[in-house]
Amino acid sequence: MYLQLGVDGFRGLENYDRTTKSCAHFAMLHHLLRDSDGLYTIIYDTKTMKLAVNVDRSRAALKWRDIVVSKKDPPLAFSQANTFLDGDDVKLKEYAPTSRGDHPELGRKRHQIVEK
């Protein structure tokens, strides 16, 4: 993850606008280089014209990650309504939302349709 942030920062230079001086990914990389206490180093090889992002894994904020993971948001609840014909009328059937997005009642109907 940390390495990807660094690489995305360099790739963000493709979108750099000199007039507005805006480039969000590069701005994040610049901040990480300045304020991460040596987590990132950039190596520029003038002979090969290559850039490399190095991440000091011993400095990666794993304890911060543990805190973030412990404060995880509850799973999203999904619910999708179905429409069906009742004679000449169109009816809307709604279901209670679940974190998996499945509906026991709808599942039974699907199996009944397949069995016919």
Tell me the per-residue pLDDT of 54-63, one tens digit each, with 9 for 90 and over.
888 887 777 7
Tell me the per-residue pLDDT of 4-42, one tens digit each, with 9 for 90 and over.
877 777 777 777 777 776 676 677 778 888 888 888 888
Query: In the structure, what pLDDT confidence band is assigned to residue 91 with cuts at 50, 70 and 90?
Result: very high
Residue 7 contacts by C-beta under 8 Å, 6 or more apart in sequence? 53
Give the rounded distance of the alpha carbon of 21 from its chain centre.
26
Residue 42 contacts by C-beta under 8 Å, 6 or more apart in sequence? 6, 33, 51, 52, 53, 54
Q: And the tokens for 30?
A: 């610049």
Q: Do 65 and 42 meet the contact criterion of CB atoms below 8 Å apart?
A: no
Query: Rounded to whole angstroms, how far apart are CA atoms 2 and 57?
Result: 9
Helix (H) or strand (E) holding 90: strand 89-93
Residue that the structure tokens 């993971």 belong to: 69
Phi first, then psi: give them for residue 9, nearest 5 degrees.
Answer: -60, -45
